[in-house]
């Protein structure tokens, strides 16, 4: 049983945080497009970013900030323009964004982290941003999580938010998070943004290690379409306002906090995969029997990312051969005679041997998942065992529908 409980409040559930989201005129749709998260005090900061060689200005900016100073007070996010592949002017725009916000908040620009999302190759609409920042700061509230969550999305159909609470040192400790992402999603980060707040006191080194491991077990284990973005950013703040003793070394308290951080990240990651562009269901792949966790996750990610597997699930076709083929090309050695594949409660392959199964019932299982979209009952579970090893891993994805092509064919038009 989890050693925490879900609470309301999102990123403003932890003590000492305010947030806001407004319409600044960055999106042509007129929808909210500028978000801000602020800690009342300087917070320990950590980040995980895209592995793409083509990176947005905000990614380079944040990496440099976190290398120089592992703390921050604020996260500013604009939606509408990715500010990626925008050359030296894009970098200047990012720096000006931080300077403008710093003056409005009366803090140092070095305490500000940035994120952007939208169309690659387009600079931030700086006139709209300059006019919007005073309004944004004026809108800050300790109940502003939903507004911020709504201002960071692009093609998302739903906002993504979570907050959990546990007890450390007889005091409540909370972690909250919001995220965006729907397309251009693939392991090693994706076109996704995620912001996490925590009110525990943690050493910078431990907080970064926790976040990196949590990312591997969540955002780096989801895929929608196999495309890694230029802007992927996971930023996490820990401000110590819970007044619990500082966690400075690995132990029971650090493990408890990391488990809750991972749960927050996994909730947000699954919400992104569930909201995949054109998706009708969430796919969860569980792999056991590998030689270690990394190998198990690699197999799971390959299966979840297979276009053939995803297409079969959209067509409600229990074609286990595609699952076997994806597992086999994952780059992880295993003996074929040990392979076991299960779809929901249907055992399809055992010890490398095909088994008779009720194809109509298995297809009905896939159809049932499609009708449960956004009701947390929309998960297609694929279980794969590859041997007797101790490694286990999970990955999440979604089916591949006709609408995915339509959405992306018309993205900039």
Q: Mind telling me the catalytic residues?
A: 191
DSSP state string for 320-379: HHHHHHHHHTSS----GGG-EEEETTEEEEETTEE----HHHHHHHHHHHHHTTTTT--E
Residues 91 and 98: beta-carbon distance below 8 Å: no
Instruction: Give CA separation, 156 vs 183, 287, 375, in Å.
Output: 8, 29, 16
Cα angle, residue 165 at apex, residues 163 and 168 outer, rounded to 5°: 145
Q: Alpha helices of 14-162 — where are they, by DSSP H?
A: 57-68, 87-105, 126-138, 145-151
Residues 19 and 26: beta-carbon distance below 8 Å: no
**H or E element, residue 75:** strand 71-81
Instruction: Give CA separation, 199 vs 141, 168, 246, 315, 355, in Å.
Output: 17, 11, 11, 45, 51
The first and second tokens of residue 160, run together, are: 């993504």
Taking only Cα atoms into account, the Rg of the chain, rounded to an integer number of angstroms, comes to 21
The first and second tokens of residue 406, run together, are: 């339509």
Q: Return the residue matching tokens 């054109």.
A: 278
- Bridge partners (DSSP) of residue 113 are 75
Closest CA to 137 of 110, 100, 111: 100
């Amino acid at each position: 049983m989890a050693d925490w409980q879900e609470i309301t409040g999102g990123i403003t559930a932890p003590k000492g945080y305010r947030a806001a989201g407004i319409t600044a005129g960055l999106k042509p749709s007129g929808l909210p497009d500028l978000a801000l998260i602020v800690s009342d005090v300087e917070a320990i900061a950590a980040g995980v970013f895209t592995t793409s060689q083509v990176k947005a200005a905000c990614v380079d900016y944040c990496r440099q900030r976190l290398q120089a100073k592992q703390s921050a007070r604020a996260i500013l996010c604009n939606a509408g323009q990715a500010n990626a592949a925008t050359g030296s002017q894009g970098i200047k725009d990012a720096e000006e964004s931080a300077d403008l916000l710093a003056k409005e908040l009366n803090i140092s620009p070095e305490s500000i982290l940035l994120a952007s999302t939208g169309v690659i190759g387009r600079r931030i609409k700086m006139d709209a941003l300059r006019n919007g920042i005073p309004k944004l700061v004026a809108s800050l509230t300790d109940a502003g999580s939903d507004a911020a969550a709504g201002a960071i999305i692009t093609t998302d159909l739903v906002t993504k938010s979570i907050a959990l609470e546990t007890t450390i040192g007889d005091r409540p400790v909370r972690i909250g998070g919001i995220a965006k992402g729907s397309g251009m999603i693939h392991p090693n980060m994706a076109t996704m943004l995620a912001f996490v707040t925590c009110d525990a006191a943690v050493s910078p080194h431990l907080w970064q290690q926790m976040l990196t491991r949590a990312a591997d077990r969540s955002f780096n284990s989801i895929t929608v379409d196999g495309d890694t973005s230029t802007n992927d950013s996971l930023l996490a703040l820990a401000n110590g306002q819970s007044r619990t003793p500082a966690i400075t070394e690995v132990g029971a308290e650090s493990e408890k906090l990391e488990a809750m951080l991972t749960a927050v990240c996994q909730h947000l990651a699954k919400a992104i995969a569930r909201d995949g562009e054109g998706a009708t269901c969430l796919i969860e792949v569980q792999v056991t029997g590998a030689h270690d966790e990394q190998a198990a996750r690699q197999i799971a990610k390959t299966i979840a990312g297979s276009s053939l597997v995803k297409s079969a699930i959209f067509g409600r076709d229990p074609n286990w051969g595609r699952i076997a083929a994806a597992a086999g090309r994952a780059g992880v050695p295993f003996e074929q005679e040990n392979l076991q594949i299960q779809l929901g409660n249907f055992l399809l392959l055992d010890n490398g041997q095909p088994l008779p199964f009720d194809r109509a019932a298995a297809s009905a299982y896939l159809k049932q998942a499609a009708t449960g979209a956004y009701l947390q009952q929309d998960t297609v579970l694929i279980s794969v065992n590859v041997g007797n090893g101790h490694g286990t891993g999970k990955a999440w994805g979604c089916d591949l529908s006709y609408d995915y092509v339509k959405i992306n064919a018309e993205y900039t038009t």
